Each structure stands twice: as structure tokens, then as C-alpha cells.
Amino acid sequence: MLREGDVDLGAFTPAQLNDPKLMALAERITVIADDNLDLAAFVPAFALARLMDGTMLRVDVKQQFGSPEWPLTLDEQLEKARRCFTFGGLEEGLVPQLHALVMRLNAINDVAGSLARTLG
């Protein structure tokens, strides 16, 4: 996030995770766990940064992007799906077709067949 302004699956490739510049940045970050026993609870949280001049910056995170409290827009959902398809080597052009299929799942009697036809 600090380097690219975003995090996606490409950030977790062996090449990225072994990047010396990223490792040097990671060495400057400390994560301190709170007393919440739920390891899946990412909020509430805060980030505290001490700049080179000593200035302290704090950002409080009360909602997680993509959660029910801060949902993705349809365009963000489709872009996320497209990026996942691309990372997985799948045809990103299928995303709109799969979205249309998901939107009518309640009316489909043969979901597996409909999915197979969509994926062709």
C-alpha cells in the first residue's frame, strides 16, 4: 500500500515478497496486536507514522473497505473481479457475463449448467 497506493494479488508474488526495497521498508514497520482475540478482526485499528522530521501522523480505521459498513460499488466489485481473473490467468472478459449470471441465480434451476455455458 505504501509503495503502490493499492494492494492486490500481485503484491503477494514471490518476486514482490522478496524485493529488497520492500523488505527494507517492512523492517521499518512495527505491528502491535491489541487485546482482541478475534484474529480476523481488522478493525478498529490505527496507523501511526513518525516522519523524518519527528512529526507524528495518525489515521484511525473504523471500517474495512469492502465490508458491509463500507461496501464496494458495482464498478469496484467488477474491477476487483477483473484483477483477480487476470492474476489467475482467466479471461477477464468473462467478468460481466458471470456478474449477470450471479444477478439471476435465484431464477436459475441449473446453476452448474448455466455456469458451464457461461464459461464455455
Q: Where are the domains of the chain?
A: 9-61, 74-119
In 3D, which of 51, 50, 31 has the Cα closest to residue 42? 31
Q: What is the pLDDT of residue 33?
A: 86
Q: What is the pLDDT of residue 36?
A: 87
Q: What is the pLDDT of residue 99?
A: 93
As a whole number of angstroms, the distance between CA 76 and CA 78 comes to 5
Q: What is the pLDDT along the chain (120 residues), one digit of tens a residue?
A: 888 888 889 899 999 999 999 999 999 999 998 888 888 888 999 999 999 999 999 999 999 999 999 999 999 999 999 999 999 998 888 999 999 999 999 999 999 999 898 887
As a whole number of angstroms, the distance between CA 83 and CA 99 comes to 14
